[in-house]
Chain A
Amino acid sequence: MAPLLAQTAVAQTPYPAGAFDARSAADAFRALGLGVPVTSRDVLLQAPDIAENGGSVRITGGTALSGVRRVLLLVDRNPAVLSAVFEPSESVEPVFTLQVKMAQSATVHAVVLMQDGRLLASTKDVRVTLGGCGA
């Protein structure tokens, strides 16, 4: 019998293919039914200044605030800009480290959707010396 997948909203909602096809951050937010994020110092984002292997770039994004609904990670010059959407319960700190592909030097975004509807973001430019989406 197949394992019972988690009963959180993300596990139950259909895969947002439109959002993962989006070719710009604005299109990805729109496809997810979100507005425009506001830059906030409460959103932490760690990424290297220079990534030598675009195939695997370790980024950390999230916040120490409580009341988080979703954490999104985006790479704005990738063919598919949205990398990941996380939905943590209260048992998980809303900060995630993930290895992503970067096709070329780009701006990485960490975006946090709060329970109260606020959309907060932090960005960082990452220079890539060997691109990783088609290599």
Chain B
Amino acid sequence: MSDPTRIRAQLGTDGRTTVRILMSHEMESGQRKEANGRLVPAWHIQLVTVKLNDRPVLSAHWGPSVSKNPFLQFNLRGAKPGDRVAVAWTDNRGTSRSDEALVAG
């Protein structure tokens, strides 16, 4: 069972909500070799989706070169305090998880 995604969504005075996301995932690129010389197979997030109050607002496809425990940040328009921001990911093994936070303001 993966660790939760940490999400902070902060509404600023300019009306934009800054969303900061920290996912918990090993993000193996498939390039790394163990001490015995064997390649560690690729294991990384491929799909990321973000919803605002159940409405999809962002999707992304990620490759093997995104960092371990990836940090992602962007700004939302038109969000209000109390709105729900849900962040979901799916990796190349088919594992998914979704976490949610409320917009603070």
Contacts and interface: CB of A to CB of B under 8 A. Distances in A.
Contact of A101 (B56, B67, B72, B76): B67
Interface string B47-87: 10111100111111111111110111111111100000010
A99 B60 contact: no
Contacts of B57: 6, 88-89, 91-92
Q: How many residues of B sit at the interface, in one of the four size bands?
A: 35 or more
A119 B17 CA distance: 27
A97 B79 CA distance: 19
Interface residues of A, number: 48
Contacts of B8: none
A75 B75 contact: no
Contacts, number: 142
Contact of B58 (A20, A57, A83, A88): A88
18 contacts: A5-B49, A8-B56, A20-B63, A55-B68, A60-B73, A78-B65, A89-B56, A93-B16, A95-B75, A97-B71, A98-B70, A98-B73, A99-B66, A100-B66, A102-B65, A132-B67, A134-B29, A134-B33
Interface of A: 2-3, 5-11, 15-16, 19-20, 55-58, 60, 75, 78-93, 95-103, 132-135
Given A2-B96, A3-B98, A93 B61 contact: no
A8 B31 contact: no
Contacts of A85: 60-61
